[in-house]
Structure 1
Amino acid sequence: MSTDNKAQKYWKENLGYLFILLAIWFVASYVLGIFLAEPLNSVRIGGAKLGFWFAQQGSIYVFVILIFVYVRLMNKLDKKYGYDE
């Protein structure tokens, strides 16, 4: 596999991961925290309404988890294409 071809496949896979993770973040922060906040408010978590919780805390937790998932995915991708240290 040529270096240019390997780099293009690496970048394409990286963008795929980014798209999926950003879509998850969008759903957690905007869809659950804003658009579906009213229906989710009928459920309570730790004394707070679930819609409010997603808008204030849940989306931050999801974002931090996604950072760790991205690091893990990129480490595996680096090893797969030989870009690891």
Structure 2
Amino acid sequence: MSSNNNDYWKANIALIVKCLSIWFVVSYLFGIVFVDALNVIKIGGYKLGFWFAQQGSIYAFVVLVFYYAKRMGDIDEKYNVHEK
């Protein structure tokens, strides 16, 4: 494998790890572990911990899908492996 390919895969894996880490924090930590601490904050009449458990992780996942697609396109172009 060339150095360019190694750099491409390092960037790809780093992006995946970043996205999965954000999703883990939003869905598991905010929705389960820190739910009691977040429930003291209310938004729109709903406790914030409840909101993260019910809606927040889904919204975060959808945003991360679009973010991943955009960033992966940028990485593909940078390393010249994009579709022509």
Fold equivalence (TM over 0.5): yes
Counterpart-to-counterpart distance in 2, 1:7 and 1:45: 46
Q: The residue matched to 1:83 in structure 2 has which SS?
A: coil
Could you say what the CA RMSD is over the residues aligned between the two structures, in angstroms? 1.1
Equivalences for residues 59-70 of structure 1 within 5 A? 59-70=57-68
TM-score (norm 2): 0.92
Counterpart-to-counterpart distance in 1, 2:43 and 2:57: 14
Higher relative contact order, chain-length normalized (CA < 8 Å, sep 6+): 2
Match of 2:9 in 1: 11
Question: What residue ranges of structure 2 are gaps of 5+ in the alignment?
Answer: none
Task: Provide runs of 4+ in structure 1 moved above 6 Å.
Answer: none
Counterpart-to-counterpart distance in 2, 1:5 and 1:42: 50
Is structure 2 residue 34 aligned with structure 1 residue 36? yes
Q: How far apart are residue 13 of structure 1 and its match?
A: 0.7
Q: How far apart are residue 5 of structure 1 and its match?
A: 2.4
Percent identical among aligned pairs is: 49
Question: What residue ranges of structure 1 are gaps of 5+ in the alignment?
Answer: none
TM-score (norm 1): 0.91
Counterpart-to-counterpart distance in 1, 2:72 and 2:18: 13
Counterpart-to-counterpart distance in 2, 1:70 and 1:37: 27
Match of 1:75 in 2: 73
- How many residue pairs match? The answer is 83
